[in-house]
Structure 1
Amino acid sequence: MKKLLILLASFSLVSCYSQKVPVINTIKVAAPFEMPAIQVADFSKCSKFSITDFGAVKGDKKKNTTAIAKAIDKASKQDGGTVIIPPGEWITGSIHFKSNVNLHLQEGAVLLFSSDPQDYLPAVHTTWEGMECYNYSPLIYAHNCTNVAITGKGTLKAGMQTWEKWFARPSGHMNSLKLLYNQCAKNVPVEQRQMVNDSANLRPQFIQFNRCKNVLLEGISIKDSPFWVIHPYLCNDVVIRKVNVYAHGHNNDGVDPEMSQNVLIEDCIFDQGDDAIAIKSGRDQDAWRLNTPARNIVIRNCLVKNGHQLVAIGSEMSGGVENVFIDNCKVVDGAKLNHLLFLKTNERRGGYMKNIYMQNVESGKIDQGILGIETDVIYQWKNLVPMYERRLTPISDIHLTNVKATDVKFISRILGEKELPVQQVSLKNVSAVKVRENKHIHENLLQFTETK
């Protein structure tokens, strides 16, 4: 009897303890390629920690920043917990995640992030447009974390007073970018690429999950951003679901999965100043060093209200991009959009793009066209910095099915390299009510098929 009681007691302790650890949910995703199941954490049975129990006070940035950090630390130390942001507006500095933590914003909660750059120091290991460096911390930052989530019906909001002044990219900013570009090309250690100074003005991402596993964003709204809004970088197993993004500043892409694998983006709303979703895999020598493609990315059931592209791939894609599936998305009539799908690279990038699928997409008027593929998109960099090594980008197996728009300049514009033509592009039931110029504009393209 005594042994039985000890056994039952031991079982009870194990059972209670196991409820603190997040359960791992497995999500199976259908795709036209072999798509691994995605794993994310379920915190529903984990302990909850309100930031008010750690000293948070509305209107007090310092106390709130400290309270959130303490709550995250407590939740992580007990192997899993949910940090609660109650209703009301809470001003804060940067938030740094630890493993096994869910940041949960209750309905009516607003986390307002300071626009003072000093609140995002010391500098952290991050990136700028595909180049690794030390820069201001993203407003929400996770590095080498497992089982992390941001959930709830609340809002993340960026104070923009300083960041909007930095949109202009003055000369000091461009000089720092040139320095960073040259350091990357010469493989200068990342620790030496220090980009915080008086004139660099490299704006931080709003949310960056850097080298993380099992990442979930669900239900939240995000308003405004200094730079890219959601940036999963070198991550595995990412789900972004029912997220509502409104950000009309410079470089305000909605989601930038970069060198990340096994990603699901679904049921989201994007109202952007730049691309709704931009798939990336690093720039030039830095990406060749990291050698990690963006792979197995599914985007479905999303609505775009404004943006440059529904989905862009590149131009930072030197690690390669493959296995992308865009399904059942819609762009509202009246949205200002350049393309539904735009693949962009240049002769410095290398990498590759292949196995890209889009189906069941509807759009109103598009400024440019449904599909764009360009191999000479280099923006200001062409004359700003030297080309250290020339590498062309193989592009192949691009398939669009059941895609419709009301008014376009072209259905497809594909401008490949003469030395390395784009290969195997198929359009099936891809149409527009009105085509303002040419239906197809093609240079250096092999194996193009169009069927009804």
Structure 2
Amino acid sequence: MHPHPSRRSALRAGGALAAGTVLPVAASDVADAQIRRSDPAAAARAAWSRLPDILDRIRPPRFPDRWFDITQYGAVGDGTTKNTAAIRAAITACHRAGGGHVLVPAGRFVTGAIHLRGGVDLHVSEGGILAFSPDPADYLPAVLTRWEGTECWNYSPFVYAHNQRGVAVTGEGILDGQARRGPWESWYRTGTLQGPDQRLLRKMGSEGVPVKDRLFGAGHYLRPKMVQFNRCRDVLISDLTIVDPPMWTVHPVLCTNVTVRNITVESLLHNTDGVDPEASRLVHITGCRFNTNDDCVAVKAGRDEDGHRVGVPSEDIVVQDCDFSGRWGGITVGSEMSGGVRRVFAEDCRINPPDFPGHYPVKYPVYLKASKKRGGFVDGVYVRRFSGQAVEREVLFVNMDYNGGEGGTHPVSVRDIHLSHCRIDGARAVLRLVGLETDRLRGVHLAHCDFTGVRGPDAVAFTEGLTRRRVTVNGVEVS
């Protein structure tokens, strides 16, 4: 198939951001490195002292008090009528008027792909449901996307914006991916459908095939994301309940200034992460609840050679006051992190909370995944005041040999992981740290933590600079 005619202009629009910028090393960064080596507690305090300034720079977009009700453009909320054209018309009118709110009122509105434009808030009111069509044809023509960290042209995400400024999806209504009604899970499960396309795309990325020639979509089996903002600025996702996505749920990629607040994610099919900020900066995820069949929040930055080509890190990511009930990690970094990750902050989150029982228990409240196939770096993950229970495996798992069978020769660096004031009851162990003989894990620091119901010992390999200060395990202080 042939992609959308605007493919070339879309690639040009994102080129400047994708190219990345090399910044000089500031004197303050050199000083920070010296503090990290000599005094981990001071380094953590210095990092956390930056948080107010980071949050002050993350400002949700505002929209004019203009409202465009989709029913005025022909939409019918009967659960049967397909309303893609009506919703698109309302979005176009709102954008041309200078911005505002596109209203989805009470009712069940079936739709295909929704493409947002600058200045538009798609507002799904209480009692309103956007039910996404199970027909893959409703997500064509293909759009520029990033699929598991590699750029390509593929089925449109269900809600998509590309190179827009000031876009939002808000309201107390529901986005229903209806993934169980579509073919998406069968593409993943059989191994004979998605697998060949997945391997082909990774090969294209590793071999440097031009993005314009990485054509998927019709006749292929790469599942679309639920909500993706691609190369956007000033993004807001607020108050919604999002259920049954076909793959990753909320995916800001190559974005700046993103707020995700007070959403609930129910995603129980395979490979359905909650929120995946990728190669993005100034991202605030707060007050959210995750019941997922994969990672809850997963910070990413591109995969393998294609991630290095784009070369944009994720940085200044803040996660606060969230409930984590997910099959793998609570706060996760990787495994697609080839562009690098720096300054991830997570605080006041609850693991497997009894008042929000998830379908799966969290395996790792804090989970970092890297490898020499990916390369790249993780520099600074700061976690404090996590509480919870019934962790299936380790509280902190750092694995620098993720998918070790893939091989690879890229240098990889993971350093400065801080956990403080955490209280977890029930885990297989507290730490599982897997560095590499050639690329050591450097600087893992625990302070003022209390772990109870721990069933086994830590496992630590090729790790330098591990410190524990005022840490108790099953009532015994560990130094």
TM score, norm. by length of structure 2: 0.84
In 2: Cα distance, 1:138 partner to 1:85 partner? 19
Moved more, 74-83 or 139-148: 74-83
Instruction: Tell me which residue corresponds to 2:23.
Output: none
In 2: Cα distance, 1:227 partner to 1:359 partner? 29
Instruction: Tell me which residue corresponds to 2:159.
Output: 140
Is residue 2:467 matched to residue 1:442? no
Is residue 2:279 matched to residue 1:259? yes
Corresponding pairs, count? 414
In 2: Cα distance, 1:418 partner to 1:68 partner? 55
Instruction: Tell me which residue corresponds to 2:328.
Output: 308
In 2: Cα distance, 1:141 partner to 1:62 partner? 21
In 2: Cα distance, 1:441 partner to 1:64 partner? 54
- Residues 405, 207 of structure 1: alpha-carbon distance in 2 compared, 3 angstrom cutoff: same
The structure 1 residue matched to 2:375, chosen from 350, 358, 361, is 350
* Map 1:116-127 → 2, pairs under 5 A: 116-127=135-146
Instruction: Tell me which residue corresponds to 1:111.
Output: 130
The structure 1 residue matched to 2:384, chosen from 340, 346, 359, is 359
The structure 2 residue matched to 1:417, chosen from 409, 412, 436, is 436
In 2: Cα distance, 1:304 partner to 1:297 partner? 17
The structure 1 residue matched to 2:188, chosen from 167, 175, 182, is 167
In 1: Cα distance, 2:75 partner to 2:198 partner? 38
Contact 2:188 2:194 in 1 (8 A): no
Instruction: Tell me which residue corresponds to 2:86.
Output: 67
Residue 195 of structure 2 aligns to a residue in which SS? helix
Query: How far 1:317 moved relative to its partner?
Result: 0.2
Residue 91 of structure 2 aligns to a residue in which SS? helix
Residue 68 of structure 1 aligns to a residue in which SS? helix
Moved more, 31-40 or 61-70: 31-40
The structure 2 residue matched to 1:372, chosen from 380, 393, 397, is 397
Contact 2:82 2:112 in 1 (8 A): no
Contact 1:252 1:274 in 2 (8 A): yes
In 1: Cα distance, 2:77 partner to 2:453 partner? 53
- Residues 172, 272 of structure 1: alpha-carbon distance in 2 compared, 3 angstrom cutoff: closer
In 2: Cα distance, 1:172 partner to 1:245 partner? 27
What code does the residue aligned with 2:276 have? D
Residue 184 of structure 1 aligns to a residue in which SS? helix
Residue 422 of structure 2 aligns to a residue in which SS? strand
Instruction: Tell me which residue corresponds to 2:266.
Output: 246
In 1: Cα distance, 2:230 partner to 2:263 partner? 19
Instruction: Tell me which residue corresponds to 1:54.
Output: 73
| Structure with max Cα Rg | 1
Contact 1:32 1:325 in 2 (8 A): no
Contact 2:205 2:306 in 1 (8 A): yes
Contact 2:282 2:316 in 1 (8 A): yes
In 2: Cα distance, 1:185 partner to 1:208 partner? 23
Instruction: Tell me which residue corresponds to 2:58.
Output: 38
* Map 1:2-401 → 2, pairs under 5 A: 31-33=48-50, 35-36=53-54, 37-43=57-63, 45-59=64-78, 64-160=83-179, 161=181, 162-198=183-219, 200-331=220-351, 332-333=353-354, 336-378=361-403, 382=405, 390-401=409-420
TM score, norm. by length of structure 1: 0.89
Residue 122 of structure 1 aligns to a residue in which SS? coil
Query: How far 1:40 moved relative to its partner?
Result: 2.1
In 1: Cα distance, 2:199 partner to 2:243 partner? 31
Moved more, 415-424 or 189-198: 189-198
What code does the residue aligned with 2:443 have? Q
- Residues 196, 126 of structure 1: alpha-carbon distance in 2 compared, 3 angstrom cutoff: same
What code does the residue aligned with 2:97 have? Q
Moved more, 153-162 or 208-217: 153-162
Unaligned runs of 5+ in 1: 1-29
Moved more, 61-70 or 83-92: 61-70
Query: How far 1:63 moved relative to its partner?
Result: 5.2
In 1: Cα distance, 2:333 partner to 2:170 partner? 27
Contact 1:311 1:340 in 2 (8 A): yes
What code does the residue aligned with 2:318 have? V
Contact 1:33 1:323 in 2 (8 A): no
Instruction: String of CA shifts for 1:192-225, please: whole Å, max 9, x gaps.
Output: 0012243x31110000000000000111110110
In 2: Cα distance, 1:225 partner to 1:151 partner? 17
Contact 1:263 1:298 in 2 (8 A): yes
In 2: Cα distance, 1:418 partner to 1:85 partner? 55
Instruction: Tell me which residue corresponds to 1:404.
Output: 423
Contact 2:283 2:318 in 1 (8 A): yes
Query: How far 1:143 moved relative to its partner?
Result: 0.3
Contact 2:78 2:107 in 1 (8 A): no
Moved more, 30-39 or 174-183: 30-39
What code does the residue aligned with 1:448 have? L
In 2: Cα distance, 1:192 partner to 1:60 partner? 38
Query: How far 1:49 moved relative to its partner?
Result: 0.3
Query: How far 1:170 moved relative to its partner?
Result: 2.4
Residue 189 of structure 2 aligns to a residue in which SS? coil
Identity of aligned residues (%): 36
